[in-house]
């Protein structure tokens, strides 16, 4: 019933150009933007009206959004397929905060790990974390992949202006790729005596990460010997599995824990955020958590139509399911947010790239759109051509801080740099305007040849922060997390599992055995292995067999 | 002559005392603070050999008075020495501006402070045309400061004014009798010369420390190597001792200032940057050896330290290696027992009372139940310790010799594990 109303409403709006919507209602911005804390959400360039919002809010009620939010914050097992709660919000809640503790002792456990983290951070900042030779650690390498990489990488880059100065220079590096190319490049530049590795993996079984970790360990042992103290002094572990960290050899004092109820893509708020804290200090890291907590509280309490994450979700639903738009671009106009598009790609597509409802039924509607992005000004030189004149309808999120470079301590260059920020802001506003209005954005509408025309009507939202602060970024990321959760509720899917990434890992291991094996060995066991491999090979498809054969051919030469 | 000396630095006190001892009427004008209080109580603020006696004799003889920095000089005074702290450039300008307002035939201002290069010329601008500001850089060696003022190897004088130069020569005539000790140049050249001297000394020390690290790796004893290098007449013996880093308000601060002066003027000195970096690393060399001796597990250990002053003969700990060492040890939850003949009060002042710092009046008491003894400052009294007694007192006989003053064979024969710098 509600859905029918929405569809009828969509039919009436579908033919309307954004330029007309603005012409009809010059005050659209007033009714179609919200400001909460450091964040302004402008969705007046979306192809909807206040009437649309009312209908969408009804739909949210019909999907029991209130009930689901309550269940999320009550620590109920909202992740059905893995039979777990999803309490990433608890990582940023505090005992004295605004959200009641769902399980006694939960906030205490979180606080304990933060405390451990603080001890490690302080020791490294003081220049008192020692390698096995007694030299001071000056380089920290985070080895992780997915959430254990993107989260800390994105946030530490975004908050690089907040880097603390330490007793000795402390450099951070990130390694994720399983092929070892990042690591081998890095190891050539680092001194083993001064290097500390953080091995970050929720399960501590992630193949990509463990291969890199093993390479790092061999590198250290080659240089510093096989004394167990080498691993004790040069490795930290962050994981939900204490046992697995112990098995790998991480010293008890060097293990930081988080919990099964934290999904990898929601884990930057936990000890996985250690590189962030190393970069900006625990004080600023806690501000980042406070920003997240601020948004949690807003999300729990605000009415749907004042609720920024809910409005983001409803807008998304409207675009995907009622206007049929299946692509979304993330366009930060601030290069510090360079990795935000990748981060949100994972957050949205790994969460909501599902086609089965919570009850196990196939869905008959679209879920997560394809999401991609790039720093806006750079993307202007890449895919904006398609946005402006292509045949795809794409909705965009423009993300930008209003202020930057007003610190007084860098007086000399601040002037020209703030000029650069103004230029970026101007581009951000101009592009979203042109995308929305098309030629109507021009003062006088001249008759243009076809190839110079701009059709416009590409909808977008603008998320403007007052400044890119730890608190503001925390609030922004938590808003996206809750948007994703809200959309999952609307789509009746589970956003917290990721079964779609499991099988590929498994069959890669089989395939690896085929690439590894040597048929021409004299060794009996190797020969038996080879026989098994042959059977495995024959069970594969023709393309894979062809590719495997090519690899073998290439190797024979060596 | 009637002379006022401004400042509470060691240089100010030595200058005031020495000038008085040669017959000048001197007023020492000190800023309010600890030094002023100590002088008021007739105490000597620096543990500098000969200085307390010098000051009390001259005060008894009424040739030396102590006054307040804010008061104006008496009428007969037209010569003023400025020996202020490094950071007091503003204060120097204030003083000079106030003097300029007082009517005199000719003001002679002698700047001895270690201000950035070019400050003397700027002070001249502040003074205007009522006199001259000259530079007489302080090249005192702590521990022999009085002696080196009385019998300077050379006197760097930066002056653009022949009359001012003749006045300075007259004032210092008693200390420059054997031959003409004056090297006269422009003020800026004199200031820069002082920095260059400091830079050279620091470079020699860091070079030797670098050689010591190499000697460690190659398992060569650095000591004969040092002697061989120093025996070359082109090089000489001075400032070639490897050790656990140089410190002191003068050497390290001056080199640091020089490095940052060069850096901010866009020149930069890669060499001096390295010199300082090696020195900072060197301050932890004994810690690293201890860390390895105990296989990276130092929690709960007790470590004795002999000598905290940045060098023997002084009670000061400015930039002293012991500070880095203490912080490194504390970060590993080590309790430290320190002995020093003079620096304990300053150390207490610096760190306050804490459980992991025990100040010991007796050197052997410091070694009680210690898991290692680290010699940091080579006070004479440490040169021939009673090793038998030490061994019974200590929990583990481990001796780390941060100044290479012991004979490794002899110490080892007494059952100690011995570690030196580069040996």
Distance from CA of B307 to the nearest CA of A (A): 22
Tens digits of residue pLDDT in A217-241: 999 999 999 999 999 999 999 999 9
Q: Could you tell me the pLDDT band of residue A496, with boundaries at 50, 70 and 90?
A: very high
CA distance B410 to A247: 46
Q: Is A132 on the interface with B (CB under 8 A)?
A: yes
pLDDT score, position A19: 94
pLDDT score, position B267: 65
| Secondary element (H or E) of residue A257 | strand A255-257
A355 and A485 share one domain: yes
- Contact flag A134-B289 (C-beta cutoff 8 Å): yes
Q: Is A113 on the interface with B (CB under 8 A)?
A: no
- Contact flag A136-B331 (C-beta cutoff 8 Å): no
Show residues of chain B in contact with A227, CB under 8 Å: 295
Comparing alpha-carbon positions, the chain A residue that sits nearest to B328 is A128
Contact A147, A267 (CB under 8 A): yes
> What are the two backbone dihedrals, phi and then psi, of residue A464, each rounded to the nearest 5 degrees?
-110, 125
Say if residue A477's pLDDT is above 90.
yes
Percent residues over pLDDT 70 in chain A: 96
A475 Cβ contact list (under 8 Å, min separation 6): A36, A37, A38, A39, A291, A292, A294, A295
- Contact flag B331-A233 (C-beta cutoff 8 Å): no
Comparing alpha-carbon positions, the chain A residue that sits nearest to B290 is A134
- The token duo for B161 is 């004014």
pLDDT score, position B13: 95
Angstrom CA distances, B219 to A152, A271, B206, B222, stand at 44, 43, 19, 9
Show residues of chain B in contact with A412, CB under 8 Å: none
Q: Which of A261-270, B151-160, B178-187 has the highest mean pLDDT?
A: A261-270
Say if residue A411's pLDDT is above 60.
no
Least confident of A246-260, B1-15, B35-49, B336-350: B35-49
Q: What pTM was estimated for this model as a whole?
A: 0.85
Q: Is A228 on the interface with B (CB under 8 A)?
A: no
Contact B81, B52 (CB under 8 A): no
A240 and A342 share one domain: no
Q: Could you tell me the pLDDT band of residue A545, with boundaries at 50, 70 and 90?
A: very high
A409 and A504 share one domain: no
- Contact flag B327-A135 (C-beta cutoff 8 Å): no
Q: What is the CATH number of the domain that holds A471?
A: 3.40.50.10490
Nearest to A219 by CA among A185, A252, A246: A185
Does A268 fall in a domain?
A: yes
- Contact flag B288-A134 (C-beta cutoff 8 Å): yes
Show residues of chain B in contact with A232, CB under 8 Å: 296
Tens digits of residue pLDDT in A136-184: 999 999 999 999 999 999 999 999 999 999 988 899 999 999 988 999 9
A485 and A419 share one domain: yes
The beta-carbon neighbor of B331 closest among A123, A132, A227 is: A123
Q: Is A540 on the interface with B (CB under 8 A)?
A: no
Give catalytic status of residue A422 as yes or no. no
Q: In what order do the strands lie in the sheet with B398-401?
A: B357-360, B335-339, B302-306, B372-375, B398-401, B417-419
pLDDT score, position B165: 95
Q: Which of A192-201, B113-122, B308-317 has the highest mean pLDDT?
A: A192-201
- Contact flag B288-A135 (C-beta cutoff 8 Å): yes
A267 and A321 share one domain: no
- Contact flag A229-B296 (C-beta cutoff 8 Å): yes
CA distance A529 to A552: 16
Contact A254, A232 (CB under 8 A): yes
- Contact flag B296-A128 (C-beta cutoff 8 Å): no
Domain stops at, among A245, A278, A311: A278
Does A481 fall in a domain?
A: yes
CA distance A460 to A397: 6
pLDDT score, position A552: 87
Between positions 133 and 152 of A, the ones with CB within 8 A of B are 133-136
Angstrom CA distances, A70 to A64, A78, A89, A146, stand at 10, 10, 13, 28
What domains are there in chain B, each with its CATH number? 2-184 (3.40.50.720), 186-282 (1.10.1040.10), 284-423 (3.40.50.720)
Mean pLDDT of A314-322: 98
Residues in chain A: 558
- Contact flag A134-B295 (C-beta cutoff 8 Å): no
Distance from CA of B292 to the nearest CA of A (A): 6
pLDDT score, position A441: 74
CA distance A135 to B288: 7
Show residues of chain A in contact with B289, CB under 8 Å: 134
Please give the interface size between A and B, counted as residue pairs whose CB atoms are below 8 Å apart. Answer: 29
Q: Which domain does A535 fall in, by range?
A: 500-556
| Count of C-beta atoms within a 10 Å radius of residue A384 | 21
Say if residue B375's pLDDT is above 70.
yes
A75 and A140 share one domain: no
Percent residues over pLDDT 70 in chain B: 96
Task: Name beta bridge partners: B158.
Answer: B135, B185
A423 and A472 share one domain: yes
pLDDT score, position A446: 64
pLDDT score, position B142: 75
Least confident of A297-301, B45-49, B264-268: B264-268
A230 and A379 share one domain: no
Q: Is B382 on the interface with A (CB under 8 A)?
A: no
Task: Name beta bridge partners: A398.
Answer: A331, A462
Q: Could you tell me the pLDDT band of residue B252, with boundaries at 50, 70 and 90?
A: low
Does A286 fall in a domain?
A: no
Domain total in chain A: 3
A262 and A213 share one domain: yes
The beta-carbon neighbor of A133 closest among B288, B328, B331 is: B288
User: Which string of b and e fits A84-104 if b means at least 16 CB within 10 Å?
Assistant: bbbbbbbbbbbeebebebbee
Tens digits of residue pLDDT in A384-401: 999 999 999 999 999 999
- Contact flag B287-A135 (C-beta cutoff 8 Å): no
- The token duo for A359 is 């009850």
- Contact flag A133-B284 (C-beta cutoff 8 Å): no
Show residues of chain A in contact with B295, CB under 8 Å: 227, 229
Does A97 fall in a domain?
A: no
Does A466 fall in a domain?
A: yes
Does A364 fall in a domain?
A: yes
Q: Is A57 on the interface with B (CB under 8 A)?
A: no
pLDDT score, position A97: 76
Does A167 fall in a domain?
A: yes
Q: Could you tell me the pLDDT band of residue B266, with boundaries at 50, 70 and 90?
A: low
Q: Could you tell me the pLDDT band of residue B138, with boundaries at 50, 70 and 90?
A: confident
Nearest to A106 by CA among A85, A123, A133: A85
A78 and A19 share one domain: yes
The beta-carbon neighbor of A128 closest among B289, B290, B331 is: B331
Least confident of A76-80, A437-441, A473-477, A502-506: A437-441
Task: State CA A35 to chain mean position distance.
Answer: 23
Say if residue B265's pLDDT is above 80.
no
CA distance A82 to A139: 37
CA distance B420 to B423: 5
Tens digits of residue pLDDT in B278-310: 888 899 999 999 999 999 999 999 999 999 998
Distance from CA of B172 to the nearest CA of A (A): 45
| Count of C-beta atoms within a 10 Å radius of residue B328 | 24
DSSP letters for A73-89: HTT---BGGGTB---GG
| Count of C-beta atoms within a 10 Å radius of residue A412 | 7
Task: State CA B274 to chain mean position distance.
Answer: 21
CA distance B334 to B331: 7
Give catalytic status of residue A381 as yes or no. yes
Percent residues over pLDDT 90 in chain B: 67
- The token duo for B138 is 């302080």
- Residue A369: strand, helix, or coil: coil
Distance from CA of B331 to the nearest CA of A (A): 6
A324 and A269 share one domain: no
Mean pLDDT of A13-26: 94
Contact A73, A300 (CB under 8 A): yes
| Count of C-beta atoms within a 10 Å radius of residue B183 | 13
Say if residue A408's pLDDT is above 60.
no
A72 and A117 share one domain: no
Check residue A553 and report its DSSP letter: H
- Contact flag A229-B327 (C-beta cutoff 8 Å): no
A549 vs B264 pLDDT, higher one: A549
Helix ranges (DSSP H) in A225-257: 228-234, 242-248
Say if residue A432's pLDDT is above 70.
yes
Does A44 fall in a domain?
A: yes
Q: Is B291 on the interface with A (CB under 8 A)?
A: yes
Q: Tell me the average pLDDT of chain B.
A: 91
pLDDT score, position B268: 66
Per annotation, catalytic residue among A30, A96, A252, A381: A381
Q: Could you tell me the pLDDT band of residue B264, with boundaries at 50, 70 and 90?
A: low
Give catalytic status of residue A421 as yes or no. no
Q: Tell me the average pLDDT of chain A.
A: 93
Q: Print the SS3 string covering chain B.
A: CEEEEECCCHHHHHHHHHHHHCCCEEEEEECCCHHHHHHHCCCCCCCCCCHHHHHHHHHHCCCEEEEECCCCCCCCCCEEEECCCCCCHHHHHHHHHHHHHCCCCCEEEEECCCCCCCHHHHHHHHHCCCEEEEECCCCCCCCCHHHHHHCCCCEEEECCCHHHHHHHHHHCHHHCCCCCCEEEECHHHHHHHHHHHHHHHHHHHHHHHHHHHHHHHHCCCHHHHHHHHHHCCCCCCCCCCCCCCCCHHHHHHHHHHHHHHHHHCCCCCHHHHHHHHHHHHHCCHHHHHHHHHCCCCCCCCEEEEECCCCCCCCCCCCCCHHHHHHHHHHHCCCEEEEECCCCHHHHHHHHCCCCCEEEECCHHHHCCCCCEEEECCCCHHHCCCCHHHHHHHCCCCEEEECCCCCCHHHHHHCCCEEECCCC
Nearest to B169 by CA among B151, B189, B183: B183
pLDDT score, position A515: 85
Least confident of A112-121, A473-482, B67-76: B67-76
Interface confidence: ipTM more than 0.85: no
Per annotation, catalytic residue among A361, A505, A519, A526: A505
- Residue A461: strand, helix, or coil: strand
Q: In what order do the strands lie in the sheet with B131-135?
A: B64-68, B25-30, B2-6, B79-82, B107-111, B131-135, B155-158, B182-185
Nearest to A220 by CA among A237, A236, A232, A234: A234
Angstrom CA distances, A126 to A522, B64, B274, B328, B357, stand at 56, 47, 21, 9, 19
Least confident of A512-521, B39-48, B261-270: B261-270
Angstrom CA distances, B303 to A135, A184, B332, stand at 19, 41, 11
Contact A265, A351 (CB under 8 A): yes
The beta-carbon neighbor of B328 closest among A128, A132, A229 is: A128
CA distance A529 to A524: 9
């Amino acid at each position: 019933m509600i859905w029918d109303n929405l569809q009828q409403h969509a039919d009436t709006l579908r033919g309307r150009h954004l330029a007309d919507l603005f012409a009809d209602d010059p005050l659209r911005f007033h009714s179609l933007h919200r400001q909460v804390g450091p964040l302004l959400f402008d969705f007046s360039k979306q192809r909807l009206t206040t009437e649309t919002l009312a209908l969408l809010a009804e739909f949210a009620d019909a999907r029991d959004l209130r009930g689901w939010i309550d269940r999320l914050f009550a620590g109920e097992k909202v992740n059905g397929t893995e039979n777990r709660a999803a309490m990433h919000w608890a990582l940023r809640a505090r005992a004295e905060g605004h959200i009641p503790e769902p399980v006694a002792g939960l906030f205490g456990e979180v606080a304990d790990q933060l405390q451990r983290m603080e001890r490690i951070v302080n020791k490294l900042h003081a220049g008192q974390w020692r390698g096995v030779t007694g030299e001071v650690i000056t380089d920290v390498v985070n080895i992780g992949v997915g959430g254990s990489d993107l989260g800390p990488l994105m946030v530490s880059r975004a908050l690089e202006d907040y880097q603390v100065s330490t007793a000795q220079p402390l450099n951070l590096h990130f390694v994720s790729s399983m092929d070892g190319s990042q690591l081998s490049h890095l190891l050539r530049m680092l001194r083993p005596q001064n290097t500390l590795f953080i091995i970050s993996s929720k399960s501590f079984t992630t193949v990509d990460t463990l291969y890199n970790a093993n390479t790092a360990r061999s590198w250290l042992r080659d240089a510093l010997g096989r004394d167990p103290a080498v691993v004790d002094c040069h490795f930290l572990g962050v994981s939900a599995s204490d046992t697995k960290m112990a098995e790998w050899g991480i010293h008890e004092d060097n293990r930081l824990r988080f919990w099964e109820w934290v999904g990898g893509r929601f884990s930057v708020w936990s000890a996985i955020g250690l590189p962030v804290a190393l970069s900006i200090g625990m004080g600023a890291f806690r501000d980042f958590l406070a920003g997240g907590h601020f948004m949690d509280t807003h999300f729990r309490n605000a009415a749907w139509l004042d609720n920024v994450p809910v409005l983001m979700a409803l807008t998304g639903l409207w675009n995907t399911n009622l206007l049929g738009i299946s692509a979304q671009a993330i366009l930060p106009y601030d290069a510090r947010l360079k990795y935000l598009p990748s981060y949100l790609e994972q957050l949205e597509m790994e969460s909501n790239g599902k086609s089965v409802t919570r009850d196990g039924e196939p869905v008959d509607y679209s879920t997560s759109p394809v999401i991609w992005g790039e720093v806006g000004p750079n993307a202007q030189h890449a895919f904006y051509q398609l946005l402006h004149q292509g045949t795809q309808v794409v909705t965009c999120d423009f993300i930008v801080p209003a202020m930057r470079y007003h610190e007084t301590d860098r007086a000399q260059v601040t002037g020209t740099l703030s000029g650069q920020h103004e230029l970026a802001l101007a581009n951000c506003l101009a592009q979203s305007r042109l995308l929305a209005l098309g030629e109507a954005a021009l003062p006088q509408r001249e008759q243009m040849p076809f190839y110079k025309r701009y059709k416009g009507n590409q909808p977008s939202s603008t998320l403007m922060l007052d400044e890119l602060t730890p608190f503001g970024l925390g609030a922004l990321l938590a808003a996206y997390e809750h948007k994703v959760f809200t959309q999952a509720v609307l789509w009746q899917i589970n956003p917290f599992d990721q079964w779609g990434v499991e099988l590929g890992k498994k069959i890669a291991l089989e395939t690896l055995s085929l690439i590894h094996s040597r048929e021409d060995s004299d060794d009996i066991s190797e020969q038996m292995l080879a026989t098994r491999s042959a059977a495995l090979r024959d069970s594969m498809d023709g393309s894979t067999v062809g590719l495997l054969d090519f690899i073998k051919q290439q190797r024979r030469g060596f | 002559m009637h002379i006022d000396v401004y400042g509470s630095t060691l240089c100010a006190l030595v200058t005031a005392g020495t000038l008085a001892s040669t017959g000048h009427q001197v007023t020492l004008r000190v800023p309010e603070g600890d030094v002023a209080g100590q002088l008021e109580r007739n105490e000597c603020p620096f543990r500098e050999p000969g200085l307390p006696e010098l000051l009390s004799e001259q005060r008894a003889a009424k040739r030396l008075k102590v006054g307040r920095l804010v008061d104006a000089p008496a009428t007969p005074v037209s010569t003023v020495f400025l020996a202020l702290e490094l950071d007091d450039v503003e204060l120097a300008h204030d003083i000079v501006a106030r003097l300029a307002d007082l009517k005199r035939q000719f003001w002679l201002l002698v700047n001895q402070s270690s201000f950035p290069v070019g400050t003397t010329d700027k002070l001249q601008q502040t003074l205007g045309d009522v006199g001259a500001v000259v530079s007489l850089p302080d090249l005192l060696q702590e521990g022999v400061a009085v002696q080196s003022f009385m019998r300077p190897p050379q006197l760097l004088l930066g002056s653009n004014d022949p009359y001012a130069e003749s006045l300075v020569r007259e004032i210092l005539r008693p200390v420059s009798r054997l031959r003409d000790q004056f090297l006269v140049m422009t003020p800026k050249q004199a200031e820069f010369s002082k920095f260059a001297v400091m830079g050279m000394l620091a470079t020699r020390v860091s070079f030797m420390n670098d050689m010591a690290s190499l000697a460690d790796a190659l398992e060569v004893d650095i000591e004969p190597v040092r002697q061989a290098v120093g025996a070359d007449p082109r090089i000489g013996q001075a400032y070639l001792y490897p050790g656990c880093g140089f410190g002191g308000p003068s050497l390290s601060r001056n080199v640091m200032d020089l490095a940052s002066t060069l850096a901010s003027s866009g020149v930069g000195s890669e060499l001096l940057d390295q010199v300082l970096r090696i020195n900072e690393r060197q301050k932890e060399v004994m810690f690293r050896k201890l860390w390895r001796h105990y296989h990276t597990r130092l929690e709960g250990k007790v470590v004795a330290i002999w000598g905290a002053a940045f060098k023997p003969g002084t009670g000061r700990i400015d930039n002293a290696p012991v500070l880095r060492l203490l912080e490194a040890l504390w970060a590993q939850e080590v309790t430290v027992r320190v002995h020093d003949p003079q620096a304990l009060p300053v150390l207490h002042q610096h760190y306050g009372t804490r459980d992991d710092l025990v100040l010991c009046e007796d050197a052997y008491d410091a070694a009680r139940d210690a898991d290692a003894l680290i010699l940091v400052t080579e006070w004479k009294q440490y040169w021939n310790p009673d090793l038998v007694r030490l061994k019974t007192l200590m929990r583990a006989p481990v001796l780390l010799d941060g100044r290479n003053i012991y004979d490794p064979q002899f110490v080892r024969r007494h059952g100690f594990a011995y570690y030196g710098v580069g040996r």
